[in-house]
Amino acid sequence: MYTQALNTAEADDRGLEDAAKAVQFQARIDGEERIEPNDWMPAAYRKTLTRQISQHAHSEIVGMLPEGNWITRAPTLRRKAALLAKVQDECGHGLYLYAAAETLGTSREELVDAMLAGKAKYSSIFNYPTLTWADIGTIGWLVDGAAIMNQIPLCRCSYGPYARAMIRVCKEESFHQRQGYEIMLTLCRGSDEQKAMAQDALNRWWWPVLMMFGPPDATSQHSDTSTKWKIKRFSNDELRQKFVDATVPQAQYLGLTIPDPGMIQDADGHWRYSEIDWTEFKQVLAGNGPCNRDRLAARRKAHDEGGWVREAAAAYAAKRAQRRTAQAAE
């Protein structure tokens, strides 16, 4: 699914690097060349990307939980299969992204351990609960929609493995988004009860989704380096506005009301939204969202209870290797 714009670039440490190499590196970035795993890169570039890609991977994996919450209760067999396939896709994205992060020199185990220890972040949007079936439609429509807004530019990210991963991920996300919108459309064409369910879900998800794009540009301190390195190509507010402009007509088509009475369309056609409650954002980020504890607990439980399985697989692989060596020696 998606990692939000939490990413802050590491402090510039070029003083410690070979200055000539750094200049060459920046020239490659400026020339829109892709940086590959074995290429020289500044330590801060490596660290920034490791953090961003792993946060993205964690988000995909934690993001399986709110939607997974409805796999066993999907209302029809077609919806059940589509949702299961979707959540499976998210898992695939996670695996793919962990592999991309590993090319920077940190193992999946270390990255996952940091997340389980609460040291690494994942997208705050997954700290909200999925209460009704309409939440599944809304997540596909809005959360995946916001993810696409953010990830399309990442397909041109300067780091090759991340950019390539994003191309594939974006294709699947756009399918998920259409699927989510189709769930909403079905609800909105259904009974009053179903339409109310859809509106209620939009009311609950709208503001958290806008927060997915990260803090406003005015307060965002560290995006300069990421921009210079062509990891980030648009500001948080630019992407947020783009998303809102794309989404408002979709809501109108559904016959749903965006829960922002202050929203107006300006002379240029942009839909201007009201002030976002950043206190809520900070609270959720600080661990006080409705589901932060549940999400981490679920991931830890899966990890802890799966420990003996992973040990068994490793033990068996070691035995097999040993037997092969013994056989070869005979």
Partner 1 sequence: MNVANIQVSETPLVLYALRRADDALILGHRLSEWCGHAPMLEEDMALSNIALDLLGQARELYSYAAKVEGKDNDEDRFAYLRDVRQYRNLLLVEQPNGDFAQTLVRQFFYSTLADLYWRAMTASSDATLAAIAAKSEKESAYHLRHASEWIIRLGDGTVESHARAQAAIDHLWAFTGEMFAVDEGERALIHADIAIDPGSLRGRWLTTLSGVISEATLELPQTDWMQQGGRSGRHSEHLGHLLSELQSMQRTFPGQTW
Residues that bind partner 1 (CB under 8 A): 61, 64-65, 68, 71-81, 84-85, 87-88, 91-92, 94-95, 98, 133, 183, 186-187, 190-191, 193-194, 298, 301-302, 305-313, 315-316, 319
Least gap, CB of 218 to partner 1 (angstroms): 37
Least gap, CB of 58 to partner 1 (angstroms): 12
Task: Report the distance separating Cα 226 and Cα 45, nearest Å.
Answer: 8
Least gap, CB of 103 to partner 1 (angstroms): 17
User: Looking at beta carbons only, is 55 or 236 nearer to partner 1?
Assistant: 55
Least gap, CB of 279 to partner 1 (angstroms): 30
Least gap, CB of 186 to partner 1 (angstroms): 6
70: CB partners within 8 A, 6+ apart: 83, 130, 133, 135, 136
User: Looking at beta carbons only, is 76 or 279 nearer to partner 1?
Assistant: 76
User: Looking at beta carbons only, is 74 or 155 nearer to partner 1?
Assistant: 74
Count helices and strands (H / E) in the chain: 14, 2
Residues forming a β-bridge with 159:
35
Least gap, CB of 184 to partner 1 (angstroms): 12
Task: Report the distance separating Cα 168 and Cα 10, nearest Å.
Answer: 27
User: Looking at beta carbons only, is 43 or 313 nearer to partner 1?
Assistant: 313
User: Looking at beta carbons only, is 99 or 155 nearer to partner 1?
Assistant: 99
3-state secondary structure of 124: helix
Task: Report the distance separating Cα 328 and Cα 205, nearest Å.
Answer: 61
Helix axes 307-329, 292-305, angle to 10 degrees: 30
User: Within 13 Å of residue 71, how many CA atoms lie on the same side as its CB?
Assistant: 13
User: Looking at beta carbons only, is 275 or 305 nearer to partner 1?
Assistant: 305
